[in-house]
Structure 1
Amino acid sequence: MNGRMQGVLRCLAVAAALLATGATNLASAQDRVAKSNDPQTQTAVADYNAGNLGAALNEFHQAAERGSRLAQFNYAMMLLNGEGTAVNVDEGKKWLRKAADANMSHAQYVYGKMYDDGEFVERDPAEAHRWFLKAAQQGHVQAELALANQFLDGRGTERDNKQAFVWYKKAAQGGDMTAQYVTGSFYERGGDGVDRNLNVARAYYAAAAAQGDPAARLKYQQLSAQLRDQKEVKPQ
């Protein structure tokens, strides 16, 4: 497992735990991991956050066995990362799949990402597409972006710029900075079923710029100047 994927999985485990306790200030809202009403899962979350990884692992396992999707997900992440135990890829994948099959959108996204990146499994963009679609249909923003990228690249599915735009726009409306920039570029150039609209494009660039995207800030400034010049040009 390379460092990039390990970092992603660890952050997701923490995000899920934080969301379970309602402490969303350090987790992205797009994770969309439901709160858990299971007392043992809540205890496991508390132990995980306190660094009591061995206890958290056992508690997540017990709650996972009883069907808690959040416990299944977090238990899988701990196994895949080797937190509180030795790395156990087979068991980790098994429990992640259980959470995904239980319709947990974040687990579906992570499971799809494993196939998209070829981490722990043979790379299979079509299988990744299937799981990204399941999560995206539930409004999972990261999955919407991943799905849009696949449609744009023709990876795991036929290339379809119109579908790419649909999912980029959904992710943009969900607050994803990259999707906001790309959606702005669709409106700036037009085509692929999108009517060219520089005002709308500028609005999406502004949203991405407000999140710190320097390229979006430059685009916003350029379009602002272009629209201002057009307004100043009077018909003869």
Structure 2
Amino acid sequence: MIGRKTERVPATPDALMRRADELRLGTAGEQSFEEAFRLYKKAASKGVERAYFLLGCMCEAGQGTSQSYKVAYQWYDRGAQRNDHDCQASLGFLYEAGLGTKRSRELAIEHLENAANAGNPRAQNNLGLIYLDRSGPQHSEHGAVTMFQKGNMSKYPPATANLARMYEKGIGMERKCDTAANLFKTAAKGGSITAKKCLAEMYKFGIGIPASEVYARHIYLETARWGDQMSVAEITGEDYEDEVFNSSPAMSENPKAQLSLGLSFLDGGFTLQSVPTAMFLLEASARGGNTTAMYVLGQIYETGLFTERSKFLAMKWYKWGADKGNGPCAYNLGCMYEDGVGVQHDPEKAFEMYKRSCECDQDEDAESDALYALASLLRSGLGCEKDEDRALELFVRSSDLGHAGAQYAAGKMFADRGDRASARKYLEMAAEQGDDRASELLDAL
């Protein structure tokens, strides 16, 4: 009987880990969670501490093996006994959430403190959330501030966002909304959903920063694109309940609920952060047909949000979402084809993806990006027959949706055609959004 061919096992522990990493992330052109898991087990048998943590993560996420919090706990425990701080932080999460073991806040704090004192920012953020919980005897606003400050010093976005919330509300410190706004901006750049939503609210009401409904809406659209329910409610004008801390939320089989839970575990704002559990829930949601989850997974792997980057896996999720009609997935896939990122440079496929994205139902910011990208290819003739008239038409459509780059492009094309009135209209729109090129061209008209 001929079985599945298994590649030769690397000879040294370092070589085992390198090859396992390649297979897990697809960095060498092929990807296999199952084979990566097998090699990590080999490395663990040789005493490689990092292998214990990664095996725990894969069991927690259900990647390359059956999802099991109990088995994940066992791997983390073996690593924690060897003083691996990532394993200690993960054990703290499992004890607090009561996953794979009996719930125990005391043991959660013990493991989180060990990791936090060693400088682990995830443990610092999660410990800060426990200290912030008013329902527990360990409640300490000062302790929470201290942990969030330590995590912020490590430039850890969840901790920075949570520290910003403390400044905004004046919890455990003097209220400083301008400081909060600056911290939210920093955390938002690092991918924190909590920071983005709070920053949008500050723009909306002019708290700590000048009011701007335009900026607020752009941010809400971005987080709504990820499926954040509060942001969706803001966009649609519906009521919503304020988020509250919940360290052990009930799991769900519903794809929409799985997406929300996954985002919560990923973000570390209102529940303890655990990326493997987030990935498990997001993948379950995607397998249930939720194209927003596919988009989120693509974003996580493309940007390396709280995990290693993997262009291979980003392509996989974007392609799946694009095939099922998700406009942002098709657009991002087009960008990867156009830029040759994670795939061979292919302008024709980029054009196809941008065109597909334009045909999808999506928010105005996502639509304007797709229209601008499609127009740019039509103007240059890359991946398609050059058509400047069609390009200008699409630039105008994108401009009317607020895309500054399209406004400049439309203005310049109108100027080149001698239509000074139309040129001035779109260049002024771009200049108002801070496009210096538009200002210079306006001066020359």
- The TM tier, using the shorter chain, reads 0.7 to 0.9
* Distance in 1 of aligned mates of 2:356 and 2:380: 19
Q: Measured at CA, do residues 75 and 152 of structure 1 come closer, stay the same or move farther in structure 2, by a change above 3 Å?
A: same
* Distance in 2 of aligned mates of 1:216 and 1:84: 38
Give ranges in structure 2 of 5+ residues lacking alignment. 1-155, 158-186, 198-222, 420-445
What is the root-mean-square deviation in Å for CA atoms of aligned residues?
Answer: 3.0
Alignment check: 8 A CA contact 1:177 1:208 kept: yes
* Distance in 2 of aligned mates of 1:117 and 1:14: 14
Aligned match of 1:25 in 236, 242, 265?
236
Q: Which residue of 1 aligns with 2:379?
A: 188
Give ranges in structure 1 of 5+ residues lacking alignment. 28-45, 230-236
Letter of the aligned partner of 2:368 in structure 1? M
Q: Paired residues, what number?
A: 202
When structure 1 is superposed on structure 2, of 181-190 and 158-167 the one drifting more is: 181-190
Q: Which residue of 1 aligns with 2:414?
A: 224
Superposition deviation, residue 19 in structure 1: 8.7
Superposition deviation, residue 78 in structure 1: 1.1
* Distance in 2 of aligned mates of 1:121 and 1:127: 12
* Distance in 1 of aligned mates of 2:237 and 2:269: 20
* Distance in 1 of aligned mates of 2:270 and 2:408: 46
Alignment check: 8 A CA contact 2:246 2:271 kept: no
Query: Does structure 1 residue 201 correspond to structure 2 residue 391?
Result: yes
Letter of the aligned partner of 1:124 in structure 2? S
Q: Which residue of 2 aligns with 1:93?
A: 279
Percent pairwise identity: 19
Superposition deviation, residue 17 in structure 1: 2.2
Superposition deviation, residue 55 in structure 1: 6.5
Letter of the aligned partner of 1:102 in structure 2? G
**Paired residues for 1:30-179 under 5 Å:** 49-54=240-245, 58=249, 61-62=250-251, 64=252, 67-174=253-360, 176-179=367-370
Superposition deviation, residue 124 in structure 1: 0.9
Superposition deviation, residue 170 in structure 1: 2.2
Alignment check: 8 A CA contact 1:57 1:84 kept: no
* Distance in 1 of aligned mates of 2:325 and 2:343: 20
Q: Which residue of 1 aligns with 2:122?
A: none
- Helix, strand or coil at the partner of 1:94: helix
* Distance in 2 of aligned mates of 1:97 and 1:128: 13
Query: Does structure 1 residue 213 correspond to structure 2 residue 403?
Result: yes
Letter of the aligned partner of 2:381 in structure 1? G
Superposition deviation, residue 213 in structure 1: 2.4
* Distance in 1 of aligned mates of 2:225 and 2:385: 41
- Helix, strand or coil at the partner of 1:53: coil
Alignment check: 8 A CA contact 2:259 2:293 kept: yes
TM-score w.r.t. length of structure 2 = 0.41
- Helix, strand or coil at the partner of 2:192: helix
Letter of the aligned partner of 1:190 in structure 2? G
TM-score w.r.t. length of structure 1 = 0.73
* Distance in 2 of aligned mates of 1:115 and 1:98: 16
* Distance in 2 of aligned mates of 1:165 and 1:126: 20
Alignment check: 8 A CA contact 2:226 2:296 kept: no
* Distance in 1 of aligned mates of 2:301 and 2:358: 24
Q: Measured at CA, do residues 144 and 81 of structure 1 come closer, stay the same or move farther in structure 2, by a change above 3 Å?
A: same
- Helix, strand or coil at the partner of 2:385: coil
Superposition deviation, residue 199 in structure 1: 1.4
Alignment check: 8 A CA contact 2:224 2:232 kept: no
* Higher RCO (Cα < 8 Å, 6 or more apart): 1
Q: Which residue of 1 aligns with 2:178?
A: none
Superposition deviation, residue 25 in structure 1: 2.0
Deviations 1:68-112 (A, max 9, x none): 001111011111122432212221121111112222111011111
* Distance in 2 of aligned mates of 1:109 and 1:26: 24
Q: Which residue of 2 aligns with 1:30?
A: none
* Distance in 2 of aligned mates of 1:165 and 1:69: 31
Letter of the aligned partner of 2:284 in structure 1? K
Alignment check: 8 A CA contact 1:73 1:99 kept: yes
Give the greater-gyration-radius structure (CA): 2
Deviations 1:38-95 (A, max 9, x none): xxxxxxxx8xx3225347973xx34x1xx20011110111111224322122211211
Letter of the aligned partner of 1:7 in structure 2? I
* Distance in 2 of aligned mates of 1:54 and 1:147: 36
Deviations 1:113-153 (A, max 9, x none): 11111123221101110100001111211111110111012
Letter of the aligned partner of 1:135 in structure 2? G
Alignment check: 8 A CA contact 2:282 2:297 kept: yes
Letter of the aligned partner of 1:217 in structure 2? Q
* Distance in 2 of aligned mates of 1:226 and 1:205: 14
- Helix, strand or coil at the partner of 1:5: coil
